């Protein structure tokens, strides 16, 4: 067995796991932390763990703050279990915003009544692609020995093969809990708790990652929007753009420079090398359009009806 940076600082399989149970994110009413982030931002923390329930609470708080139209609040960014607020200190002071936010948290209501209008976006993925493997090989040569990433992810989750890994990853919808770190980079988790994948991140991280790389780290999946450093294990690549200053008019971007937004759902569709090349040509010619499979109101009642309510199933995966 190769002793390599896959395992990072985390305990190997059988020990380390992110806390993703339903009960792990239940908060007392109004219990939040408000942290200053420089002179022009406040971070409103609703909890210390993420999950579907907490994501819906965070999205609801962001909506309430938007609706309140607080003078001097210039930006509202929900992500995982917190909301980052941009402030104009010449218009409003942090203490006033904090008081308003405490009151708005009280207005979130019962968790089981939480809902969010969620888009379903299809992303084609060439699993086990050669570009991701070339990126990993570069890491082997320049940084440290490391196992074939899909093989490691499969083995870490007691799967018999990479094929089983690809099938698991593409057979459920994934919930986008946050967008950031790199411009347009989504962090998402599978809605079906039986499709979860856990794996520690690289340590040290890669010095570069192929654009469009689909990576798994912790209990999350990300798509790399640019050629950037990264620490998630690469299991595939998408030819479709998810960020670009020239993409605002394209289908799915809806006037934004990024494709994804918190509360989206993603369905990964398996493609082969030929289809990857064909889609890439459409992207290059400007003819490609993202497939958005509609939107619907998504709520915890629906989730529990579909996946059950016992521990480890009531929250996000």
How many CA within 13 A on the CB side of residue 169? 35
Q: What is the pTM of this model?
A: 0.86
10-69 residue pLDDT tens? 322 333 233 333 333 333 334 789 999 988 999 999 988 778 999 999 999 999 999 999
| pLDDT(3) > 70 | no
What domains are defined for the chain? 31-112 (3.30.1360.40), 117-307 (2.40.100.10)
What is the rounded average pLDDT of the residues 260-265? 96
How many whole angstroms from its chain centre is CA 44?
19
Residues in the chain: 317
Q: What are phi and psi of 38, to 5 degrees?
A: 75, -165
How far, CA to CA in Å, does 60 sit from each of 56, 57, 114, 204, 277? 6, 5, 7, 36, 40
What is the rounded average pLDDT of the residues 140-169? 97
Dist CA 138 CA 310 (whole Å): 43
CB 246 within 8 A of CB 200: no
74-128 residue pLDDT tens? 999 999 999 999 999 999 999 999 999 999 998 998 888 899 999 999 999 999 9
Q: If you average pLDDT over every residue of the chain, what do you get?
A: 87
Dist CA 240 CA 225 (whole Å): 9
Confidence of residue 199 (pLDDT cuts 50, 70, 90): very high
User: Would you state the torsion angle of the CA atoms of residues 250, 253, 257, 260, taken in this order, to the nearest 10 degrees?
Assistant: -150
How far, CA to CA in Å, does 249 sit from each of 117, 253, 262, 280, 283? 22, 7, 20, 19, 14
Interacting residues of 116 by C-beta distance below 8 A, sequence separation 6+: 56, 59, 60, 263, 297, 298, 299
pLDDT at 39: 87
Residue (of 102, 105, 125, 198) closest to 157 by Cα position? 198
121-153 residue pLDDT tens? 999 999 999 999 999 999 999 999 999 999 999
3-state secondary structure of 300: helix
């Amino acid at each position: 067995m190769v002793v390599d940076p896959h395992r990072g600082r985390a305990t190997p399989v059988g020990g380390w796991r992110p806390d993703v149970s339903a009960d792990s994110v239940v908060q007392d009413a109004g219990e939040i932390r408000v942290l200053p982030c420089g002179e022009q931002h406040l971070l409103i923390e609703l909890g210390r763990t993420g999950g579907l329930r907490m994501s819906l609470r965070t999205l609801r708080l962001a909506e309430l703050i938007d609706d309140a139209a607080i003078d001097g609040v210039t930006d509202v960014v929900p992500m995982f279990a917190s909301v980052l607020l941009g402030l104009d200190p010449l218009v409003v002071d942090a203490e006033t915003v904090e008081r308003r936010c405490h009151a708005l948290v009280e207005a979130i209501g019962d968790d089981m009544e939480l809902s969010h209008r969620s888009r379903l976006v299809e992303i084609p993925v060439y699993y086990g692609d050669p570009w991701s493997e070339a990126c990993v090989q570069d890491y082997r040569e320049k940084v440290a020995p490391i196992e074939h990433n899909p093989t490691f992810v499969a083995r870490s989750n007691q799967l018999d093969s990479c094929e089983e890994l690809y099938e698991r990853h593409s057979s459920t919808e994934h919930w986008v809990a946050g967008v950031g770190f790199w411009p347009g980079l989504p962090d998402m988790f599978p809605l079906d708790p039986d499709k979860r994948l856990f794996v520690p991140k690289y340590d040290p991280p890669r010095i570069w990652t192929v654009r469009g790389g689909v990576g798994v780290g912790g209990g999350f999946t990300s798509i790399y929007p640019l050629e950037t450093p990264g620490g998630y294990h690469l299991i595939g690549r998408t030819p479709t753009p998810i960020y670009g200053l020239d993409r605002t008019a394209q289908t799915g971007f809806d006037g934004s420079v990024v494709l994804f937004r918190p509360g989206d759902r993603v369905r990964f569709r398996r493609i082969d090398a030929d289809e990857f090349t064909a889609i890439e040509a459409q992207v290059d010619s400007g003819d490609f359009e993202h497939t958005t499979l509609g939107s619907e109101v998504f709520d915890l009642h629906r989730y529990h009806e579909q996946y059950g309510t016992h521990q480890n199933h009531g929250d996000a995966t």
